[in-house]
Chains A and B, each alone.
Chain A
Amino acid sequence: MKAKVIITPKRAVLDPQGKTVQTALEHMGCAGVRDVRIGKYIEIEMDGDRETVEAKLSEYADKFLANPNIEDYRLVFED
């Protein structure tokens, strides 16, 4: 099973990279950009059924892959 961990900075956290990219998009003429947030993307291939993999990855995302002080994450699965 392939799992994708999508990590984004929490709303309350300043994201200077996102802000810089937003400004660059505006300078390039891309109108209507309301917000840009830059995070991380991790692909993990793992043995086990969806339920087991989800339980395990949630546990390790909470304590290692993401930092709950500053980041949110979500898991996406592919068979």
Chain B
Amino acid sequence: MKFAVLQFPGSNCDQDCVHVLRSVLGRPTELLWHKEYSVGDADAVFIPGGFSYGDYLRTGSIARFSPVMGAVKEFAENGGHVFGICNGFQILCEAGMLPGALIRNRSLQFRCEHVYLQIASRVSPFTGQIPEGKNLRLPIAHGEGNYFCDDETLQSLEANDQILFQYVDAEGDLTDHANPNGSLANIAGICNEKRNVAGMMPHPERAAEAALGGTDGRLIFESLIAALKTQSTLASV
């Protein structure tokens, strides 16, 4: 099982992602420069956080035209798993691979703190191993994490069980106060209809080792690894 982590000019969480996949989880992982035209033999692709292209025009709006994104789109259309974190989520929305957009935080402030997330759906390759009733405590660090889509899109996200993560407070209540950026329905992460592409604003790669203050983020990586294992077992039958 192999992973690829993309790197754009301005990415700054790429090495954290590579570190978690390689050193914490022991999986072969390749860093892919944005000028590549192929994702190689990767089984899943991570689009890391950062400020690709300086966030010019709109966050993620330039990165989506990088050669590597053409390859990622094709990879996803063929069923490949793609996970975007923070700027990676913004890029996936701009690329039209996930619905909606991430706009400026309601507070206009860059928010850098820990949040709690409830798992709105465990039926996905990214959340399947998270125990029932377990909320995640993960860091956020963004200025544009305010998830927005039109009513129709929100209804279809709900109807198709595409909302994966929602901001809650420490007690697990979904309140406006627990919402750090003004996201619709406290949305912190979603997946596409096929459930093989997902994005989230919080940073699971920054919470995958006890020494860094928490290991909740590891559950997302482990969910994906378990899903890929099941997939390859099924494929070999």
CB < 8 Å: which of A17, A20, A65, A70 contacts B148?
A70
Q: In the bound complex, how far is the Cα of B102 from the Cα of A70, in angstroms?
A: 9
Chain A residues in 8 Å Cβ range of B146: 14
Q: Is B14 an interface residue (CB 8 A)?
A: no
Known interface pairs A67-B61, A67-B94; A14-B106 also in contact (CB < 8 Å): yes
Known interface pairs A16-B104, A16-B107; A69-B182 also in contact (CB < 8 Å): no
Chain B residues in 8 Å Cβ range of A17: 104, 108
Known interface pairs A64-B61, A65-B57, A69-B100; A16-B148 also in contact (CB < 8 Å): no
Chain B residues in 8 Å Cβ range of A14: 103, 106, 146, 148, 182
Known interface pairs A65-B57, A67-B61, A70-B148; A16-B101 also in contact (CB < 8 Å): no
Interface string of B116-160 (1 = CB under 8 A from A): 000000000000000000000000000000101110000000000
CB distance from A32 to the nearest CB of B (A): 24
CB distance from B185 to the nearest CB of A (A): 14
A16 B182 Cβ-Cβ under 8 A? yes
B105 A69 Cβ-Cβ under 8 A? no
B149 A69 Cβ-Cβ under 8 A? yes
Chain A residues in 8 Å Cβ range of B148: 13-14, 69-70
CB < 8 Å: which of B57, B65, B101, B106 contacts A69?
B101
B103 A70 Cβ-Cβ under 8 A? yes
Known interface pairs A12-B150, A13-B148, A14-B182; A67-B105 also in contact (CB < 8 Å): no
Q: In the bound complex, how far is the Cα of B150 from the Cα of A67, in angstroms?
A: 13
Q: Count A interface residues, CB 8 Å.
A: 13
CB distance from B2 to the nearest CB of A (A): 32
Chief secondary structure at chain B's binding surface:
loop
Q: In the bound complex, how far is the Cα of B109 from the Cα of A20, in angstroms?
A: 12
A67 B104 Cβ-Cβ under 8 A? no
Chain B residues in 8 Å Cβ range of A12: 150
CB < 8 Å: which of A20, A65, A70 contacts B101?
A70
Q: Which B residues, 48 to 72, have Cβ-Cβ distances below 8 Å to chain A?
A: 57-58, 61, 65
Q: In the bound complex, how far is the Cα of B184 from the Cα of A14, in angstroms?
A: 10
Q: In the bound complex, how far is the Cα of B150 from the Cα of A32, in angstroms?
A: 30
CB distance from A21 to the nearest CB of B (A): 11
Q: Which A residues, 1 to 52, have Cβ-Cβ distances below 8 Å to chain B?
A: 9, 12-14, 16-17, 20, 40
Q: In the bound complex, how far is the Cα of B99 from the Cα of A67, in angstroms?
A: 12
Chain B residues in 8 Å Cβ range of A13: 103, 148
CB < 8 Å: which of B93, B94, B108, B150 contacts A16?
B108
Residue positions of B touching A, CB distance < 8 A: 57-58, 61, 65, 93-94, 99-101, 103-108, 146, 148-150, 182
Given A40-B57, A64-B57, A67-B101, 18 additional A-B pairs, CB 8 A: A12-B150, A13-B103, A13-B148, A14-B148, A16-B104, A16-B105, A16-B106, A16-B182, A20-B108, A65-B57, A67-B58, A67-B61, A67-B94, A69-B93, A69-B148, A70-B101, A70-B103, A70-B148
